[in-house]
């Protein structure tokens, strides 16, 4: 029985995604979510994959749970640095995350080093390291350690790989454990040769691209094709189309009906894409619920590239709390500080897009109006998607990893009259453009005169 997101915010581990689509994304290596945006994020990214400056350890003092480490003692280890403040509750919780990591992955070679804020060290709680794990605490007395790592506000996580490289800088809290799991499983030689391996892969790709330049040229044409006007299909064509079977409940019964889905006019990033003559795949996510986006966002980017103009993929940032009471044990004051506004939600979207270089569009819908238009359920399996036809009607919705998901998407793209009409108009545009460029006439060919009969 699959786990579900409900009013209690139970997380979901996605063990399957749309068949055949996620393989390339998941096989290309791990890339965690990171914090920051703009110039500050660019500087942090520039620090990655370079040897970590172990002399920064000298900026820390008053070590607890062990002696001050050295480059030699940390050689071949995966090191998790966390900047924290015991007096600031979110940062204090980050220390708990780090401690659990030391307990779980200490046997695999993980060392945790927690650097406390310059303020409050004297009265800060100093928990012991877990059995079987290494968790060292230290005081960043002058804030020089933080400054060197461009850590502007606690908590922040940094990971050094087995080859001594600062691999991931300022990792988002929700991606810390996944990043650790990836690095402790990585061999030292693979980490050390990472840049060379990727450079070789890029060269091999360039050779392959040169062999398929005609295909790539065609793809470029499709990507840069202007919006072509066409006659919209009649309503009857949508009614008569062979849409996928609507989702059913756990007993196999279908009582759902398609609904008109209206997307927000504002809160888009980078901008609202053209929707005319296209199907739309929506996925619903929230930055506080990793199960809603951990694998889904990379899959979304892959799908947007794969289906190009036929499909628009949109990440809808939704407030799942509107589905019920949250059992997150936060005080009202803490919950108010954590709550997203339209402005902060849009900023979070832009941080995700900048850090991960996502190409697909995202939009803010904190009221949950889009999700509520899709389903009346108060529990949804994550990641949760909805497939919308070009007339704005929902045609399928549910768990992205279900066996029906990919078949439903393919059926919508094949059956959608708007998609077919747009494709036909674009094909005619390409034909006439190619003919004009080659100097050929676009007029219909005339029948040659017959030879006179004898």
Give 337 or 15, the one with higher predicted confidence. Answer: 337
Verify that 273 and 410 share a domain, yes or no. yes
Average pLDDT over the chain reads: 83
Residue 150's CATH number: 3.40.30.10
- Least confidently predicted of 56-70, 223-237, 383-397: 223-237
Given a cut of 90, whether residue 73 has pLDDT beyond it is yes
Rounded Cα distance between 422 and 277, Å, is 5
Verify that 264 and 351 share a domain, yes or no. yes
- pLDDT for the residue 101: 95
- pLDDT for the residue 355: 78
- pLDDT for the residue 251: 55
Rounded Cα distance between 266 and 140, Å, is 43
pLDDT tens string 317-366 = 998 876 544 445 555 555 555 678 999 999 999 988 887 788 899 999 99
Kind of pairing, strands 279-285 and 384-388?
A: antiparallel
Of 114, 136, 171, the residue at which a domain comes to its end is 171
Verify that 38 and 133 share a domain, yes or no. yes
Verify that 270 and 368 share a domain, yes or no. yes
Verify that 259 and 164 share a domain, yes or no. no
> Can you read off the two tokens belonging to residue 115?
């650097």
DSSP category for residue 5: B
With respect to residue 384, please indicate whether it lies within any of the assigned structural domains.
yes
State the average pLDDT over residues 360-386: 92
With respect to residue 29, please indicate whether it lies within any of the assigned structural domains.
no
Of 146, 171, 196, the residue at which a domain comes to its end is 171
- Per-residue confidence at 2, pLDDT binned at 50, 70, 90? very low
pTM to 2 decimal places: 0.59
Verify that 275 and 374 share a domain, yes or no. yes
Distance between alpha carbon 413 and the CA centroid of its chain, in Å?
24
Question: Residues with Cβ < 8 Å from 42, sequence gap 6 or more?
Answer: none
- Per-residue confidence at 33, pLDDT binned at 50, 70, 90? confident
- Least confidently predicted of 132-146, 239-253, 338-352: 239-253
Give the domain range for residue 402. 248-431
Rounded Cα distance between 170 and 155, Å, is 9
Verify that 258 and 394 share a domain, yes or no. yes
Verify that 164 and 271 share a domain, yes or no. no
Contact 259, 290 (CB under 8 A): no
Rounded Cα distance between 238 and 416, Å, is 7
State the average pLDDT over residues 410-420: 96
State the average pLDDT over residues 297-315: 92
Tell me how many domains the chain contains.
2
Single out the residue of 114, 112, 92, 93 nearest to residue 102, CA to CA: 112
With respect to residue 395, please indicate whether it lies within any of the assigned structural domains.
yes
With respect to residue 132, please indicate whether it lies within any of the assigned structural domains.
yes
With respect to residue 211, please indicate whether it lies within any of the assigned structural domains.
no
Give 365 or 22, the one with higher predicted confidence. Answer: 365
Please list the alpha-helical segments (H only) found in 284-416: 296-307, 332-338, 342-356, 369-374, 403-415
Verify that 58 and 167 share a domain, yes or no. yes
Contact 375, 284 (CB under 8 A): no
Of 129, 145, 171, the residue at which a domain comes to its end is 171
Q: What Rg, from alpha-carbon coordinates, does the chain have? A: 27
Element of type H or E holding 135: strand 134-139
Highest-pLDDT range among 68-82, 120-134, 367-381: 68-82
Q: Is 244 helix (H, G, I), strand (E, B) or coil?
A: coil
> Can you read off the two tokens belonging to residue 1?
């029985």
With respect to residue 119, please indicate whether it lies within any of the assigned structural domains.
yes
CA distance to 161, 169, 242, 244, per residue, from 166 (Å): 7, 7, 53, 48
With respect to residue 441, please indicate whether it lies within any of the assigned structural domains.
no
């Amino acid at each position: 029985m699959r786990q579900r997101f409900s009013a209690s915010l139970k997380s979901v581990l996605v063990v399957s995604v749309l068949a055949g689509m996620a393989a390339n994304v998941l096989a290309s290596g791990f890339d965690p979510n990171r914090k920051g945006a703009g110039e500050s994020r660019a500087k942090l990214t520039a620090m990655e994959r370079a040897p970590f400056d172990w002399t920064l350890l000298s900026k820390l003092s008053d070590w607890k749970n062990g002696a001050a480490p050295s480059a030699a003692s940390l050689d071949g280890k995966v090191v998790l640095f966390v900047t924290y403040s015991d007096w600031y509750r979110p940062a204090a919780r980050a220390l708990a995350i780090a401690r659990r990591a030391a307990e779980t992955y200490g046997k695999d070679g993980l060392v945790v080093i927690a650097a406390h804020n310059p303020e409050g060290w004297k009265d800060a709680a100093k928990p012991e390291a877990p059995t079987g794990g290494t968790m060292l605490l230290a005081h960043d007395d002058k804030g020089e350690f933080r400054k060197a790592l461009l850590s502007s506000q606690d908590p922040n996580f940094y990971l050094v790989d087995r080859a001594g490289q600062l691999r991931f800088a300022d990792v988002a809290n929700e991606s810390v454990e996944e990043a650790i799991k990836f690095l402790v499983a990585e061999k030292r030689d693979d980490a050390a040769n990472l840049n060379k391996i990727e450079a070789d892969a890029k060269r091999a790709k360039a050779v392959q691209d040169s062999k398929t330049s005609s295909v790539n040229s065609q793809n470029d044409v499709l990507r840069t094709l202007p919006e072509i006007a066409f006659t919209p299909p009649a309503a009857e064509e949508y009614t008569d189309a062979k849409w996928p079977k609507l989702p059913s409940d756990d007993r196999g019964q279908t009582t759902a009906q398609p609904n008109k889905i209206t997307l927000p006019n504002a809160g888009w990033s980078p901008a609202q894409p053209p929707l005319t003559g296209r199907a739309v795949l929506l996925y619903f996510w929230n930055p506080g619920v990793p199960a809603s986006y951990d694998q889904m966002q990379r899959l979304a980017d892959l799908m947007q590239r794969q289906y190009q103009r036929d499909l628009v993929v949109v990440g809808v940032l939704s407030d799942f709390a509107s589905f019920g009471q949250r059992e997150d044990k936060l005080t009202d004051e803490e919950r108010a500080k954590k709550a997203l506004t339209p402005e902060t939600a849009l900023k979070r979207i832009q941080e995700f897009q900048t850090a991960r270089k996502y190409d697909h569009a995202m939009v803010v819908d904190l009221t949950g109006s889009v999700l509520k238009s899709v389903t009346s359920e108060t529990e949804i399996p994550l990641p949760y998607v909805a497939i919308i036809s070009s007339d704005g009607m929902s045609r399928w919705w549910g768990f992205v990893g279900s066996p029906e998901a990919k078949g439903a998407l393919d059926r919508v793209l094949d059956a959608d009259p708007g998609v077919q009409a747009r494709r036909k108009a674009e094909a005619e545009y390409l034909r006439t453009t190619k003919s004009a460029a080659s100097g050929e006439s676009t007029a219909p060919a005339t029948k040659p005169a017959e030879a006179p009969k004898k």
